[in-house]
A and B are shown apart, each in its own frame.
Chain A
Amino acid sequence: QVQLQQWGAGLLKPSETLSLTCAVYGGSFSGYYWSWIRQPPGKGLEWIGEINHSGSTNYNPSLKSRVTISVDTSKNQFSLKLSSVTAADTAVYYCAREDSGSYPYYYYYMDVWGKGTTVTVSS
């Protein structure tokens, strides 16, 4: 049973860099994309970006200038850095595994999620 365990600083000041890590236990790290998603208080889900085991990344254009997602395959971990945070970055941050299928045509789904990390940005 694949599990994702995530951790990182929960309280940041404006202009600091958010840093979170997600570890994958109980399953293969290769063959999937690994995503970060966030949810501001009372709002919906927002995809931040993703990475695969080879280090290939895709980012949400609205956050791309501030986001870096990296991978450490030796530890089965991937990490998120978001620079120059403001109060608008206050949210619960989730890591998730993305799998895909192709019958009868392509589909993508996030079948394993971390429990979430609450990040608050406040001076």
Chain B
Amino acid sequence: SSELTQDPAVSVALGQTVRITCQGDSLRSYYASWYQQKPGQAPVLVISGKNNRPSGIPDRFSGSSSGNTASLTITGAQAEDEADYYCNSRDSSGNHLVVFGGGTKLTVL
């Protein structure tokens, strides 16, 4: 399957914990990667693999996976975390395709 499904919008109170999810058959074969995109900017990788954070990404960002669902958790959300978040992985059909989720708009209240 070549689809990754995300909730369109999620909100979190400042300082609280929020989980953003991504569902798809391909996630049974591959880990998801997660990207943060702020208005007018290119996406930035925040999580790859099991739970790898690139240099410069705060440790309040973490990733997990179970079955066909991948999750991005922000523990202690900050105002600057308000952004769009996208998951992606490879398609599991063997066609070597890249797929993105539809994105989740995170609002920090």
Taking Cβ atoms with an 8 Å cutoff, the residues of A that contact B are 35, 37, 44-47, 50, 58, 60-61, 94, 98, 101, 103-111, 113-116
Contact = CB atoms under 8 A, between A and B. Distances in A.
Q: Is the interface of A mostly helix, strand, loop or mixed?
A: strand
A69 B11 CA distance: 39
B27 to A, nearest CB: 10
14 contacts: A35-B98, A44-B100, A45-B86, A47-B99, A47-B100, A94-B42, A105-B31, A107-B30, A107-B50, A107-B89, A108-B98, A110-B35, A110-B45, A115-B42
Chain B contact-residue range equals 20 to 34
Given A44-B102, A50-B98, A108-B30, A101 B43 contact: no
B15 interface: no
Given A61-B95, A109-B33, A109-B48, 4 more contacts: A44-B100, A47-B99, A98-B98, A107-B89
